[in-house]
A and B are shown apart, each in its own frame.
Chain A
Amino acid sequence: MNRLFVMASTALLAFLLMSQTQKPAAKGGALAASIARGKVVYESTCQPCHMADGGGAPNMNPPLSRTKWVLGDKVKLAQIVLKGLPGGQIEIDGDTFHNPMPAQESVLSDQQIADVLTFVRNNFGNKASAVTVAEVKASRGRMK
């Protein structure tokens, strides 16, 4: 009886543990894949201005580390990538950045934008939720 209970509870515990670890592992796999794809997009499209460490260039190109622009509203963030921004619109701690952000709506796909934003939100000291293709689509839909 006792042994059965131990075996049963061990099995249950094992099952619980497995399901606990498996779920995030599966999710982590998708996240990791998106981040990996996003890294490629970042290096070809974003890195020339925002630099390899995401630190940008003083007065010119804003940093992507720990700023509300990156970590805040995902739809707004996707809009900046899609539509671009004129220079001087971003202010971080009193510093402004003068280069314009070129619009990527006809350059990058929704998937690429979702991936690169997921990469950025999980790099350079950032830790934030993934950006999904649906969110990028919603962002496109909202713009018109």
Chain B
Amino acid sequence: MKQPTKKSPTSERTNRGSRTSFPHKTLHLAMGLCMMGLFACAGNSDKAPAPAAGSTPAAGAEIPKDTSIKLPSGFSASIVAEGLGKARHIVIAPNGVVFVKLERLKDGKGIYRLQDTNGDGKPDQVTGFGKFGGTGIAIKKGYLYASSNEDVYRFKLDDNFNVTNPDNPEKIVTGLIDRHQHESKSIALDNDGNLYVNIGAYSNSCQLQDRTKGSPGRQPCPILDSAGGIWQFKADQPGQTYGTGVRYATGLRNVVGLDWNTATNTLFVMQHGRDQLHDLFPDLYDTKQSAELPAECMYELHKGSNCGWPYIYYDEFQHKKILAPEYGGDSKKTGAEDAQDPVVAFPGHLAPNGLLFYTGNQFPEKYKNGAFVAFHGSWNRAPEPQKGYFVAFVPFSNGKPSGEWEVFADNFSGGPDKTASGRATYRPCGLAQGPDGSIYVTDDSKGNVWKISYKK
């Protein structure tokens, strides 16, 4: 593993020092969690080499590799935390402190802060806070932003990336729609003081009766007024609502993975494409087509972008925007010609939950500015085998994909049988880049956090 570089690629997010403090409360909690075996803690695990008494291990010291994760040559993965439950998105502070957002509270806490204070590569100081479940988390200009399924909060960070107001965050955005389906509010921030929030459509294809055979598509789709897109808010104004926000992009069924691309200065998102083409239209689609279609699409957004949902879906074989069958489509007719084309089209139903543009210097040159995508894995491909549960990579050059996508990190499922059945052991969800250029992957099935590093 490389030494953490001071000139961190994420330092655009904040520029702060990294003195370390040991609040007693957090230390107690950390020790408690260690004893409960919730985290693989240094000194408490036979897997982790305990540092010799009185010595300080070098930063970036080796921690055990998790060889079950398949990676390209030169890369290795290690588990830095486990047992966090539904660990969704993740962000790493410039000093290496890890924040993980949980969908379901764990011991009453929705966010966990993990810090490796002794430099052995494993977090030994673990604190939980935030009494809301959710998905989104981000750091910007001295604040930690995190979302529930209705609101976006922010917490103040001190110079060591400790949260100074764990019980009293500011509520930046409130009252967003949560109708259970596609409810997670993923967030991203640009460098001009804006916050972007995904508001997923609470529907599969905007039918009168959702997911019901024979029910027509609603024309126009009323869901798009308050969901099915990305909304833009001010990053520093508390109490914003739909009234003060801007519908930045529309026609997006549900976005979980999104990232601000600093090379292009634009927002990129991964859409979860529609389900059930065969179940709802067995005369138009066989089960194999239904498993592959539509594509899971990456879009580059601008203010006013329209990606076409629910009227069209993207067919990655015909390379066309196909009119949705609920709106008169027959699997061939095209539609919504004014809607944007995707930047990348992945196979259907893989569920892209995390997106990260790599700006680090640790990985080989081909990864620079490219996109990592965490695929949570499918459920809607039956009776065909399920697919996904991997992290993919797409090389980029000059802001555009410069090659085919490839599987980067695989076997989170635990084997081909578990992939095929959909009974994956782990399911990749969130992605983040650390200050040393390693990347982190969360799993929202058991709550693992992996760190993936490269060494020549």
Contact = CB atoms under 8 A, between A and B. Distances in A.
On whether the two chains bind one another, the answer is yes
Interface of A: 43, 45, 47-49, 51-53, 55, 57-61, 84, 86-88, 94-96, 98-100, 102-103, 106-107
Given A87-B180, A102-B211, A61 B421 contact: no
Contacts of B451: none
Contacts of B212: 84, 102-103, 107
B180 A48 contact: no
Contacts of B279: 45, 48
B180 A51 contact: no
A99 to B, nearest CB: 6
A57 B180 contact: no
B104 interface: yes
Contacts, number: 64
Interface centre among B103, B180, B181 (most CB of A within 10 A): B180
A53 B423 contact: yes
B423 A86 contact: no
B354 interface: no
Interface of A is mostly: loop
Interface in B354-384: 379-380, 382-383
Nearest to B422: A51
B383 A47 contact: yes
A92 B179 CA distance: 19
A98 B214 CA distance: 22
Given A98-B182, A98-B183, 14 more contacts: A48-B275, A48-B380, A49-B380, A52-B382, A53-B421, A60-B379, A86-B179, A94-B104, A95-B104, A98-B180, A99-B181, A100-B180, A100-B211, A102-B211
B271 interface: no
B213 interface: yes
B422 A107 contact: no
A76 to B, nearest CB: 20
Contacts of A59: 86, 103
Interface string B205-219: 000011111100000
A41 B104 CA distance: 34
A63 B44 CA distance: 36
Interface in B404-425: 421-423
18 contacts: A45-B279, A48-B279, A49-B380, A52-B383, A52-B421, A53-B421, A55-B422, A59-B86, A61-B379, A86-B179, A86-B180, A87-B181, A94-B104, A98-B181, A98-B182, A99-B181, A100-B210, A103-B212
